[in-house]
Structure 1
């Protein structure tokens, strides 16, 4: 199955623009993992680092869950792979499978989209668990774009090391 990545609009209202850029970055991560075996997806960047494409997907599932469900929606739920809030745990994908990681990630993305769509405005706030500060949906969407952009850069290098694919 081919990943469809739609470029963000050049002109749009703020919310539509944020939504489009976030979905663009989500699709980019999926494209970087497209067509690879579980073994390829588990390949580490450089020992002792646990960083792998599958680890990035797992990490982003945790990030989506933490910011949208726990912060904005106020759900009292543990993270997917670590109930102690250690996002780094997700990077260790040494025994993970594509289906396990992608199912969790896609589930969290679907929750995030529902939460964002149901919010009255980007000014809706939730409480940051560690600091207790109010956090707006706007900040969460911008933060997620930053997270994806940063990790998609890592994904570029990981994919190139696996099979030489570059770009996009």
Structure 2
């Protein structure tokens, strides 16, 4: 797998810009994981943190599912890695967890998100509602939140990758 990424055009329309930045950050996370072994991807930053690149990918699969399937579309299939017994199950990787499984799951959730949003306008409101205000979210808000979520975790991925093999960069 060789991941390429491109920044959106400087003058793109709003939807193209939002989708472009979301895709840019999705590909950034893939790039941060590229070329590493399963063991390296399961390497935690520093004790007591359990944060790993593999955990970040699993977490983003959960986030994609939660915002696009559950909140936007009202399709609650339940979490992939988390449970009532382990609410942070996405981050709790074991020696049995692999890149192939996590990557495949993550990409499936990204494809489901693309299908869910196809044909919807940015002002389309979610079926799910905010816990604090009970208001629905606009697709615009969800895209903006997802860009923020990826950007924050890509910062974590930068530090994890540097710890693993010294690689740095955008």
Query: How does the TM-score come out when normalised to structure 1?
Result: 0.94
CA-to-partner distance for each residue in 1:56-115, whole Å, 9 max, x for gaps? Answer: 000000000000000111102101112449762201112310011111100000011111
Where structure 2 has 5 or more consecutive residues not aligned to the other structure, the ranges are none
Report the count of equivalent residues: 167
User: Structure 1: how far apart are the matches of 2:52 and 2:5?
Assistant: 22
1:105 lines up with 2:106 in the alignment? yes
Aligned to 1:145: 147
5+ long unaligned stretches in structure 1: none
Q: How does 1:89-128 map to 2 (within 5 A)?
A: 89-95=89-95, 96-119=97-120, 121-126=121-126, 127-128=128-129
Cα distance change, pair 146–61 in 1 and its aligned pair in 2 (3 A): same
Partner Cα distance (1:143, 1:86) in 2: 24
**Could you say if the C-alpha distance between residues 83 and 75 of structure 1 is closer, same or farther in structure 2, counting changes exceeding 3 Å?**
farther
Q: Structure 1 or 2: larger helix share?
A: 1
Corresponding residue to 1:160 among 147, 159, 162: 162
Question: CA separation of 1:38/1:89 partners in 2, compared to 1, >3 Å: closer, same or farther?
Answer: same
For residues 57 and 104 of structure 2, the distance between their equivalents in structure 1, rounded to whole angstroms, comes to 10
Cross-structure match for 1:79: 79
Say whether the 8 Å CA contact 1:125–1:134 is kept in structure 2: yes
Task: Report the RMSD for the aligned CA atoms in angstroms.
Answer: 1.6
Kept in 1: contact 2:42–2:53 (CA 8 A): yes
